[in-house]
Amino acid sequence: AQKITQTQPGMFVQEKEAVTLDCTYDTSDPSYGLFWYKQPSSGEMIFLIYQGSYDQQNATEGRYSLNFQKARKSANLVISASQLGDSAMYFCAMREVNFGNEKLTFGTGTRLTIIP
């Protein structure tokens, strides 16, 4: 079963607009962590933001914020004031912490294209 679902294969957004990238997850563990990474065409996976399952507030890092809705198992990434350099693949990932099965599981990604 898919543990991380990203339903938007591709998105086109006008420069300077805000964009929301969707991510839903599935886990029965009470303790987990959610990451967002950006992957330009060069291949490097760049860390953007992290949300722990016990964190009371939504995470923010500069222009990035995470809209964490625990009951809905949703962890959407919001990029404010998009820039041309934001064009890339974006991956949502979940850290599973159950002993003996610890790993990072990725979604299929969303290709974001910023239009000038």
Partner 1 sequence: KAGVTQTPRYLIKTRGQQVTLSCSPISGHRSVSWYQQTPGQGLQFLFEYFSETQRNKGNFPGRFSGRQFSNSRSEMNVSTLELGDSALYLCASSLGPLGTGDSGNTIYFGEGSWLTVV
List, in sequence order, every residue forming a beta bridge with 88; answer none if it has no partner.
Answer: 112
User: Does 95 sit near partner 1 (CB under 8 A)?
Assistant: yes
The H helix count followed by the E strand count for the chain is 0, 12
Contact 98, 29 (CB under 8 A): yes
Query: Which CB sits closer to partner 1, 13 or 58?
Result: 58
Q: Shortest distance, CB of residue 21 to partner 1, whole angstroms?
A: 16
Residue 28 beta carbon to partner 1: minimum distance, rounded to whole angstroms? 15
Cβ pair 24, 45 in contact under 8 A:
no
Question: In the complex, which residues of this chain contact partner 1 (CB under 8 A)?
Answer: 31-33, 35, 37, 42-47, 50, 52-53, 55, 59, 91, 93, 95-106, 108-109
